[in-house]
Amino acid sequence: MNDSEKRRDLMDQMQSLAQTASTETALFHQVAAAKLGLGITDLKTISALLQEGPMTAGQLAERLNLTTGAVSNVIDRLEQGNFASRVPDTKDRRKVIVTINQDMLSTSNNVYRSMGEAFEKLLETYSVEELEFLVKFYNSTIDLTKLEIAKLKSRR
């Protein structure tokens, strides 16, 4: 197999592996959400708040591509489970800010702890150079995915 054929084969493998990884990740999140008594949208809301910080309901709706009614229902479920709370916006009393209950997430029943530990062990097997490449790869795929989401949204 020449370099061009090998490159094409590897690129095909990467496409296939990315699809498989995406499916398995989605299935993991679905099972994790169910263990917490939540839906996957609820869990992704928690994830967005953890990664990006507290947000208004409107910001959450935009970030997660939900209607304001749907995001209100998500916030209600998260409050009922003590995963999040609404706090008044100090700048605009008509708005509330949704914040995460960090204590609830740090308890021993954290469904992501085992996965985090497993990934840490895996990442320890890579060299600094390999980790730098993986960071670059993930940053690029995240940027690409965000661009594709924007494209899909604009086709409404």
> What's the rounded Cα separation, in Å, for the pair 84 and 96?
12
115 closest CA partner among 3, 29, 30, 56:
29
CATH of domain 3-125: 1.10.10.10
- The parts of the chain modelled with pLDDT lower than 50 are none
Helices (H), 1-127: 3-35, 40-52, 57-64, 68-80, 102-105, 113-123
Domain residue spans in the chain? 3-125
- Could you tell me the sign of the dihedral formed by the alpha carbons of 79, 49, 107, 86, in that order? negative
pTM of the predicted model, to two decimals? 0.82
Contact at 8 Å (CB) between 83 and 101? yes
How far separated are the first and last CA of the chain, in Å rounded?
45
Neighbours of 39 (CB within 10 A): 15
For residue 135, the surrounding DSSP H or E stretch is helix 128-154
Looking at residue 156, its pLDDT comes to 67
Looking at residue 79, its pLDDT comes to 95
Tell me the pLDDT of the chain averaged across its residues. Answer: 92
For residue 138, the surrounding DSSP H or E stretch is helix 128-154
Distance of CA 31 to the CA centre of its chain: 14
pLDDT tens digits for 101-124?
988 777 656 788 889 999 999 999
Contact at 8 Å (CB) between 61 and 70? yes
